[in-house]
Structure 1
Amino acid sequence: MSVRTATVSAAVAALLGGCVLLPAPRTHASDDRSAPVVLAHRGASAYAPENTLAAVDAAGDLGIAWVENDVQLTRDGVLVVVHDTGLERTTDAEEVYPDRAPWAVKDFTAAEIARLDAGSWFGARYAGARVPTLTQYLRRVERNRQKLLLEIKSPEIHPGIEKEILRILRKEGWLDREHVTHRLVVQSFGAESVKTVHAQRPDVVTGFLGTPAVADLPSYAAFTDQINPSYETIGADYVASVQKLKGAHGKPLRVNTWTVDDAAEAVEVAGFGVDGIITDKPDVVRDATR
């Protein structure tokens, strides 16, 4: 240390009365850890009709790599991308098929569902958007070089859906090393469904949707890689309890929480240490947490 530096240091210490300078407190949830991965819920569903190809593209336009979708089986065994077990909320099924209440997905053929308008309810510019098949959806995600969090919806009313999902994934090239390692997660609220996927394709990354009790987490870790709970059900302690366990592939369990659309809530859950945030407004969450 030079004489000048020593003199300045002594003067500063004297002015501060010997106080120790502490680093400024961190004010942003992601300052001391990597920002959570942002996953576009049903595509960027705040900006385009959910689970449509337009919503996939909207997420891509925002620069969002991960999209989430929901998959069900039609009456003739075709996988279609739609959230509700009924078609009436997000299509014109009531108008097109007035005598087919309750308009359950499982009661319609793929060709019948392909006639439906899945965009007008959201906005006139999306009139004529269709309910995509899983094959169509995968091809759009692939075209956009995006990644997929695929939810098996209501597996209890779609027997054998896991096998058919894996068949289509394999046919479309989504079960090669690149996709399985970096670009695909299969999740469900149904623990037995997740177990089935893990048993049939142990290399596929899986997630369980829900908030199991901490005491039960080791049993889930045997067949899944992620615990994906509602943000309203977790705190930092729960997230830490999940992440200290190793999942089915020998890596720490990850936590992707849903559905967070508010910037302040995004910062709060990022502060819990979650690995990912599932959101209808991926740009809002990204900007709040990066």
Structure 2
Amino acid sequence: MSMRRAVAAATGVLLGMSALTLTASPAHAAARQDSTSDSGPVTVAHRGASGYAPENTLAAVKKADKLGFDWVENDVQRTKDGELVVMHDTTLARTTNAETLYPKRSPWNVADFTAKEIARLDAGSWFSDDYKGEKVPTLDQYLKYISKTGQNLLLEHKSPELYPGIEQQTLRELRSRGWLDRSHLSKRLIIQSFNATSVRATHTLDPHVKTGFLGNPKVSELDSYAQFTDQINPTHSAATKDYVDEVHKRKGPLGKRMQVFTWTVNDASTARSVDKAGVDGIISNFPDVVRDATHS
């Protein structure tokens, strides 16, 4: 049970509330957002709490955890030697020191480097000197970490067209870490992509996995998308009430009402707007701003 629900259940019982306060660990001092709550949309920490720590690093996941957020989003790609790593851009240039460490390797594509070479990179200094030496995590390292924190995962296949078979490889790695059991599949894992073919492939490979399509297909196309994706996840400007209502009219392949997780919402005004539109989730670099604005 999340801290938020535990506190709600103990309302009016002073002793119970005191016990909760005394036993809360420092890493979970902030009340966790209840991902099953009907009080508002789920807030997802985009690339971890990437407004406060370098994106897609374990430091960003740790920050999201300290802020009390169950859901984190990440991006997955594949190295030259076949290792899955957590990285947003298809090149290493923006968020690491690859240009300095490997000056003759332009354009520094993720797919042109081995996992060992990427492990040497500094993925934190670009953000702040406080994060100097932060590493690019492998998917395996990432899964180990969030398994310990108890956080949930919205995993994005980034540019999967560059990495044939990445869907099957990801599922294999998730399975090896226990992430394809009933508990994880029912409430702790979503796999999404901008590439509809990739989303369909994930669904075909394992129909029990909850999937999301990043984009806003025409309303006339939603029935076809409902055959292989459980979520339609548009940018916030496309998450109008009319569009959200249309998505909600349909059931996804898991037999439940389709959902809408919108992105990337970093200010209170936009958060309130998409909340009013009825979205089910809000993806944000500053998840605490969204939580405060939506009271969820």
Same fold (TM over 0.5): yes
* Cα deviation, residue 232, structure 1: 1.3
Q: Between the two proteins, what is the percent identity of the paired residues?
A: 61
Aligned partner (choices 229, 236, 239) of residue 234 of structure 1: 239
Cα shift readout 1:217-251 (whole Å, capped 9, x = no counterpart):
00000001000000012310000000110001111
Mark the runs of 5 or more structure 2 residues left unpaired by the alignment.
1-37
1:81 matched to 2:83: no
The answer to whether 1:69 aligns with 2:77 is no
> Are the counterparts in 1 of residues 93 and 108 from structure 2 also a CA contact under 8 Å?
yes
Deviation at 1:204, TM superposition (A): 0.5
CA distance in 1, matches of 2:239, 2:137: 33
1:142 aligns with 2:147: yes
| Residue 206, structure 1, aligned to residue 211, structure 2 | yes
The C-alpha deviation readout for 1:81-122, integer Å capped at 9, x for no partner, is 000000000000000000000000001000000000000000
TM-score (structure 1 length as normaliser): 0.88
Query: Quick one: which amino acid aligns to residue 107 of structure 1?
Result: D
Following TM superposition, the consecutive aligned residue runs of length 4 or more in structure 1 with deviations greater than 6 angstroms are: none
- Which has the larger displacement, 228-237 or 47-56? 228-237
Matches of residues 1-290 of structure 1 in structure 2 within 5 Å?
34-290=39-295
Normalising by structure 2, we get a TM-score of 0.86
Contact 2:263 2:282 in 1 (8 A): yes
What letter is aligned with 2:257? P
Q: Which amino acid aligns with 1:126?
A: Y
Query: Over aligned residue pairs, what C-alpha RMSD do you find?
Result: 0.6
Deviation at 1:177, TM superposition (A): 0.6
Work out the CA distance in 1 between the residues paired with 2:111 and 2:289: 35
The answer as to whether partners of 2:239 and 2:279 remain within 8 angstroms in 1 is no
Q: Paired residues, what number? A: 258
Output the CA distance in 2 between the equivalents of 1:272 and 1:279: 17
User: Aligned partner of 2:89: which letter?
Assistant: D
Q: Secondary structure at the match of 1:249?
A: coil
Equivalent residues of 2:230, 2:258 under 8 A apart = yes
Residues 20-42 of structure 1: per-residue CA shift (max 9 Å, x gap)? xxxxxxxxxxxxx6311000000
